[in-house]
Structures are given as C-alpha cells and as structure tokens.
C-alpha cells in the first residue's frame, strides 16, 4: 500500500492479491460540491446580503456628517459608531462559526438578521452618541456577524472549480450596495433626518432574514470514509488501510474494529466531536501553517489593508464638503467607488479562476495600487480628479474581497479554511476595522483636517501590497529552484 499526501487529501493506493479488492470513494468534496444548481441561488442570497450590509457600512460617511452636527461630539468619538459596525461582524466571526456549527447556516443567518434589525430600530431613538454606539454599532454589528460569516462559508461550500467567479459575484454586492445606498441614504437623511434614516434602514436590514431562508443545507458530511469490501483482505492490508483512514479523517478506530464491522455500518465512519475540541486539535496539528511565510505575510497585508480600508468611505465626503463641495455632489464619490467596485469584483473573480494567473501576485499588486489611489487624495480638491481616484480605489480594492477566500484556501486548504482560518482572518480584520477609523479620526482632530489620515493610510496600504508581491515572487522562485 502506498500513501500519497496532497495537501488536505490523502490518496490511498493498494496492491492486493487477486482474492482481495478494496475501493475507496474519492474526496467527499469532489463528489458533493454542486458548482452550480442551487448554488447560484445561494450566490444571489449572499449578493443581496452584501448589498444591504456593505451599503449600510460604506454609506455611513453620509450619516456621519449629520451625527456630527446633531451631537456636536468629536470626530473620533462619532467614528466609533461606524468603526464598531465595521469591526464587530469580523471580531465575532469565531463565535459566529461556533453558532453556525450548532444551528446551521440558514438558522444562524436568519437569527443574525433579526438581531441587527432590532439593534437599528432601538438605535433610532438614541439620545447620545454612546447609546448609538451600543445599539447601531455593537448590537447591529453582532447581528451582522452571523450572516457575514455564512456569506463567505456557504459560497465555498457550494463551489470549487468556479469558486473565484461565484465569490466575485457574491462580493460584488459591496459595490452595488454603495451605488444604491449612497444616494438612498442622502435622500433619507435630507427628508427624514438621521433618526428616520436609521429606522427605515432597520426595515431594510430585516430582509437578511429572507436571504438566510435561501441557504438550503447541503447533504454532505465533512469527515466520512466510505469502504466497500468486495472480498476478504488480509489482516495486514486491513490494518494499513485503517491507519490511512485515521490519518485522513482524524478518527481513532476502536480496538477490534474489522472489515465486516465497517461493512455492517454501511462503510460510513463519522467523527463526532464538538466544535471547541476541533479547533484545539486543529491548532495543535496544523500550527506550522500559522507560522508559514505565505500565511504570515498574508495576515500582515490583510490587517494593514483593513486598518485603513474604511478611510475613504468615512472621511471622503466630509473632506470634500469642507472645501465647498455640496453634500449631494460629494456623495457621488461614494457612488463612483461602488459602481466601479461592482464590476471589478466580478472581473477579479473571472481572473482568479484562470490557471495562468497567480492569485497571490494579483492580490498584492492590486493592494499596492489601491494604496496609491488613497495616497493621492490630499493633493486634489477638484471633483473630476477625485472621481477618478475614487474609481481607482473601487477598482483595486475589489481584489481584497473577490480573492480573499481563494488566496487563503490556496495557502491553507479548504478543510483548514472551514475549520479555523476563515474565522481567524475575519477576527484579525475586525481588530483592524475597530481601531482604524477612530485612529484616523484622532489624526484629523490633531491636525485639523483629513489629509494626514489619507497620507498615512495610502503609504501603509501601498507598502503592504509591495511587501506581499515581493515575498510572493520570492516564494515562487524558490519553489521553481526546488523543481
């Protein structure tokens, strides 16, 4: 018997005598991932969720100005509302994963939509900034964590070969949401004030419950070994096979387990462990991945990107208004970001599925160019040039959302992605989102304008992208030398 370890999949090949034949069903994922069918309905539901969530997130800059005027608090304190709403869904991703394991993607998503809607509704009656921080930012963010986690996981469950395209279409809701919600929020604030706007948005957020209802569970078991014993095998071959099965599925066969016993159980051996023990076991057996160079540079670049990612969405409108541009015209800058972002995510999805494209290099290069577009903002005040820079930001920032799942799966594998790394990366993004906008607001309060925030944000994002491209190229060259 020969054992071949190819990433997550262990392929077992046997050389048996003529009286013995043993067949092993291939990787469960290959036979169970639809790569279409109802999966496209799941993509549509995820797209709708992203329109709502990202629309509320990225149009907060319009609401932000009205809150500054009403409460008269500092820019940094006011920014905590949007910062928490951005960050909490990511910070709570590991817990959202645990809840999803217990309830399933459908129920968890519907529950999250209900919590977020209630948080928004209560927030519309806030009498202080900090009450709004709790209701809108914290409760709303906690509710959004469940559908946000499942919006990433569920698409990867339904797609494999066309994962980049499916993820691109689903994540394009970020751009479409900004296109729709920027003028929509401006209209609501103008006609109903910030209280009426948040109350109406609570009704819009309730539609996430409908999105969750469309997440039909897959009839799939993650850790299954299917065995067909056609003829009796020698005990030595049987023992070797069982050892291979244990390696593949992290299952300990009890002493005395034999071929006939396996056959009687329809050849299905399930590992029934709670989620916490799975995470602990996974961290112990796969700790080397967490300290690998590709993963470390990915975490660094991703953290830096999300630390400064929301700066244009939160501060670009107020900065433009500060030197005489109308609020309605300034809101168009967000719409431009969203419009370009919409088509760019789909474009990155198509590119990411091409075999000749190196996803890591594409991701890093796009991050660097995204940083350049942010860095150039303080140099200009004219609407046409700011519109071009907004379009560039919408274009290159799309790689972060379209390729994140694909690049991470390329590094750690699909099973590891589902078990631990998806939640871990989202948690790190949440930490970055939590402290990023308030820190930028602090820079703005100290300097008296937003230019310093754009300078620092652009420089950091550009540096992170250049670092990622450089180290990715080094890794590629070193792998070629080994070959």
DSSP string, 303-359: HHHHHHTTHHHHHHHHHHHHTT--HHHHHHHHHHHHHHHHHHHHHHHHHHT-TTS-H
Residue with tokens 């034949």: 21
Q: What DSSP string runs through 98-165?
A: HHHHHH-HHHHHHHHHHHHHHHHHHHTT-SSHHHHIIIIIIIHHHHHHHHHHHHHHHHHHH-STTHHH
- Is residue 131 situated within a structural domain? yes
pLDDT in tens, 55-109: 888 778 788 878 888 888 777 788 788 878 877 888 888 888 889 888 888 999 9
Does residue 240 share a domain with residue 304?
no
**Model confidence band, residue 176 (pLDDT cutoffs 50, 70, 90):** confident
Query: Does 61 share its domain with 182?
Result: yes
Asked if the structure places residue 463 within a domain, the reply is: yes
Name residues whose C-beta falls within 8 Å of residue 335's C-beta, 6 or more positions apart in sequence: 178, 179, 182, 183
Give the closest residue to 153 by CA, choosing from 45, 258, 294.
45
pLDDT of residue 229: 36
Work out how many domains the chain is built from and give that number: 2
Predicted confidence at residue 155, as pLDDT, reads: 85
Long-range contacts of 35-38 (CB under 8 A, 24+ apart): 35/158, 35/159, 35/160, 35/161, 35/162, 36/162, 38/158, 38/216
Give me Rg for the CA atoms of the chain: 25
Q: Is residue 461 part of a domain?
A: yes
Per-residue pLDDT, 259: 43
Question: Which of these ranges, 120-134, 179-193, 348-362, has the smallest mean pLDDT?
Answer: 348-362
Sign of CA dihedral 121, 122, 128, 131: negative
Within a domain: residue 450? yes
pLDDT, residue 285, reads: 53
- Find the domain containing 15 and state its range: 2-31+224-270
Tokens of 69: 């005027």
Average pLDDT, the chain: 76
Residue 219 pLDDT grade (very low, low, confident, very high; cuts 50, 70, 90): low
Question: Above 60 in pLDDT, residue 343?
Answer: yes
Helical (H) or strand (E) element with 17 = none
Q: Which of 270, 295, 330 is the last residue of a domain?
A: 270
Secondary structure letter of residue 216 according to DSSP: P
Res. 454 pLDDT band, cuts 50 70 90: very high
Q: Indicate the pLDDT class of residue 249, thresholds 50, 70 and 90.
A: very low
Q: At what angle do helices 93-103 and 422-447 cross, to 10 degrees?
A: 150
Which segment, 7-11, 136-140, 433-437, is predicted with the most confidence on average? 136-140
In a shared domain, residues 230 and 366? no
Residues 6+ apart with CB under 8 A from 301: 364, 367, 464, 465, 467, 468
Q: Which pLDDT band holds residue 257 (cuts at 50, 70, 90)?
A: very low
What's residue 248's pLDDT?
A: 43
What number of other Cβ atoms are within 10 A of residue 483's Cβ? 4
Of 2-6, 226-230, 347-351, highest mean pLDDT: 347-351
pLDDT of residue 473: 60
pLDDT at 445 over 90: no
Q: For residues 25 and 42, state if they share a domain.
A: no
What are the φ and ψ backbone dihedral angles of 252, each rounded to 5 degrees? -100, 115
User: Of 239, 270, 301, which residue constitutes the final position of a domain?
Assistant: 270
Residue 319 contacts by C-beta under 8 Å, 6 or more apart in sequence?
377, 449, 450, 451, 454
**Residue 338 clears pLDDT 60, i.e. is over it:** yes
Structure confidence at residue 286 (pLDDT): 57
Cα angle value 98/100/101 (rounded, 5°): 65
**DSSP states of 369-387:** HHHHHHHTGGG---HHHHH
> Tell me, what's the pLDDT at 384?
92
Question: Are 64 and 134 in a shared domain?
Answer: yes
Same domain, 24 and 67: no
Q: How far apart are CA 283 and CA 149, in angstroms?
A: 20
pLDDT at 418: 62
Residues making up the chain, counted from first to last: 483
Is residue 67 within 8 Å of residue 192, measured between CB atoms?
Answer: no
Residue 134 in this model has a pLDDT that exceeds 50: yes
d(Cα 275, Cα 273) in Å, to the nearest integer? 7
pLDDT-based confidence at residue 207 (cuts at 50, 70, 90): very high
Both structure tokens of 96: 């959202």
Query: Is a pLDDT exceeding 50 seen at residue 11?
Result: no
Measured in degrees and rounded to the nearest 5, phi and psi for residue 413 equal 95, 160
Domain check: are 50 and 152 in the same one?
yes
Distance CA 455, CA 461 (A): 10
- Identify whether 265 is part of a domain: yes
Give strand pairing partners of 2. Answer: 13
Residues 132 and 189 in one domain: yes
197 lies in a domain?
yes
Closest CA to 371 of 242, 464, 232: 464
Span 278-302, pLDDT tens digits: 555 555 555 666 667 778 888 888 8
Mean pLDDT of 262-286: 48
Question: Is residue 75 within 8 Å of 445, Cβ to Cβ?
Answer: yes
In this structure, the answer to whether residues 19 and 51 fall within a common structural domain is no
How much is the pLDDT for 444?
84
Residues 364, 302 share a domain: yes
pLDDT tens, position by position, 354-371? 778 888 888 889 999 999
Q: Please check whether residues 151 and 54 belong to one and the same domain.
A: yes
In order of 33, 85, 141, 383, the CA distances from 90 in angstroms are 26, 9, 9, 33
**Looking at the domain assignment, is residue 385 inside a domain?**
yes
Contacts of 470 (CB under 8 A, 6+ apart): 364
Residue 482: inside a domain: no
Do residues 265 and 343 share a domain?
A: no
What confidence tens digit (pLDDT) does each residue in 377-424 have?
A: 999 988 999 999 999 998 998 888 778 777 877 777 767 776 667 777
pLDDT at 201 (0 to 100): 93
25 pLDDT exceeds 60? no
- What's the sign of the alpha-carbon dihedral 93, 287, 8, 302? positive
Q: 69, 51, 61: which is closest to 390 by C-alpha?
A: 61
CB atoms within 10 A of CB 230: 10
pTM score, whole prediction? 0.62
Res 198: pLDDT: 92
State residue 390's pLDDT score: 93
Q: Which among 211, 243, 270 is the end of a domain?
A: 270
State the CATH number of the domain containing residue 162: 1.20.1250.20
Cα–chain-centroid distance for residue 301? 15
300-314 residue pLDDT tens = 888 888 888 878 877
């Amino acid at each position: 018997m020969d054992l071949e370890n190819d990433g997550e999949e262990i392929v077992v090949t046997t050389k048996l005598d003529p009286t013995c034949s043993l067949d092993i069903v291939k990787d469960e994922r290959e036979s169970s991932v639809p790569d279409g069918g109802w999966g496209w309905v799941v993509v549509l539901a995820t797209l709708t969720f992203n329109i709502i969530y990202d629309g509320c997130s990225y149009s907060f800059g319009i609401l932000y100005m009205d809150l500054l005027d009403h409460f008269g608090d500092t820019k940094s304190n006011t920014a905590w509302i949007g910062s928490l709403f951005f960050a909490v869904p990511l910070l709570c991703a590991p817990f959202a994963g645990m809840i999803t394991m217990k309830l399933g993607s459908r129920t968890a998503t519907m529950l999250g939509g209900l919590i977020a809607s209630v948080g928004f509704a209560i927030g519309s009656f806030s009498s202080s900034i900090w009450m709004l921080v709790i209701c809108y930012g914290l409760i709303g963010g906690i509710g959004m964590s469940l559908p946000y986690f499942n919006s990433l996981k569920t698409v990867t469950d339904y797609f494999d070969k066309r994962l980049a395209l499916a993820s691109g279409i689903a994540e394009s809701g970020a751009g479409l949401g900004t296109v729709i919600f920027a003028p929509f929020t401006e209209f609501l604030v103008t006609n109903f004030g910030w209280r009426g706007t948040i109350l109406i948005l609570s009704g819009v957020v309730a539609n996430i419950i409908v999105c969750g209802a469309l997440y039909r569970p897959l009839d799939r078991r993650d850790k299954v070994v299917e065995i067909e014993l056609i003829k009796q095998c020698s005990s030595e071959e049987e023992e070797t096979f069982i050892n291979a099965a244990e390696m593949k599925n992290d299952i300990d066969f009890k002493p005395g387990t034999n071929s006939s016993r396996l056959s009687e159980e329809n050849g299905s051996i399930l590992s029934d462990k709670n989620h916490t023990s799975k995470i602990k076991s996974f961290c112990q057996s796969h700790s080397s991945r967490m300290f690998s160079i590709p993963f470390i540079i990915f975490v660094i670049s991703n953290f830096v990107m999300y630390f400064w990612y929301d700066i244009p969405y939160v501060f670009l409108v107020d900065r433009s208004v500060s030197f005489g541009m109308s609020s309605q015209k300034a809101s168009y800058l967000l719409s431009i970001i969203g419009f370009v972002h919409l088509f760019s995510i789909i474009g990155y999805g198509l590119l990411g599925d091409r075999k000749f494209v190196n996803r890591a290099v594409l991701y890093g290069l796009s991050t660097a160019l995204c940083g350049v577009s942010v860095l150039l903002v303080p140099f200009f005040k004219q609407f046409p040039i700011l519109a071009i820079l907004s379009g560039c930001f919408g274009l290159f920032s799309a790689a972060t959302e379209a390729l994140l799942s694909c690049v991470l799966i390329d590094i750690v594998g699909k099973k590891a992605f589902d078990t631990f790394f998806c939640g871990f990366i989202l948690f790190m993004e949440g930490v970055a989102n939590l402290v990023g906008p308030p820190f930028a607001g602090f820079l703005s309060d100290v300097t008296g304008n937003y230019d310093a925030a754009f300078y620092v944000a652009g420089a950091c994002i550009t540096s992170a992208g250049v670092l990622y491209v450089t180290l990715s190229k080094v890794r590629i060259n070193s792998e070629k030398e080994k070959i």
